[in-house]
Amino acid sequence: EDQVTQSPEALRLQEGESSSLNCSYTVSGLRGLFWYRQDPGKGPEFLFTLYSAGEEKEKERLKATLTKKESFLHITAPKPEDSATYLCAVQAGSGSRLTFGEGTQLTVNP
């Protein structure tokens, strides 16, 4: 059974204080790892897809990396508007379904 574990559950940062979120996974035949951002009361917003170990993607203050066992979402010099829950999901095997982690709730204080 595919498993995705995100840590920490919650993270509080000061504006400008860089940090990383972790997503560990156990799957048979990883096809893709996805990062989403979710604001309260809204649907997840797509951020990145990573397909193979060593791959990196960047968007503004966010950078996602992938190894054979985990992915990191690095946040550089975060701003209060980066506050949200960040979800990691994996896709494995031949199907399209995603298996989500429980998310990391990020709060960035001004």
Q: Site residues for other proteins, window 30-59 (CB under 8 A)?
A: 31-32, 34, 36, 41-46, 49
Q: Site residues for other proteins, window 54-83 (CB under 8 A)?
A: none
Does residue 87 touch other proteins according to CB under 8 A? Answer: yes
Q: Is 103 exposed, middle or buried (0-12, 13-18, 19+ CB in 10 A)?
A: buried
* 78 or 101: CB nearest other proteins: 101
Question: Which residues, other chains included, contact 43 with Cβ-Cβ below 8 Å and sequence gap of 6+?
Answer: none
Does residue 97 touch other proteins according to CB under 8 A? Answer: yes
Q: Is 86 exposed, middle or buried (0-12, 13-18, 19+ CB in 10 A)?
A: buried
Chain residues in the site for other proteins (CB under 8 A): 31-32, 34, 36, 41-46, 49, 87, 91, 95-98, 100-103
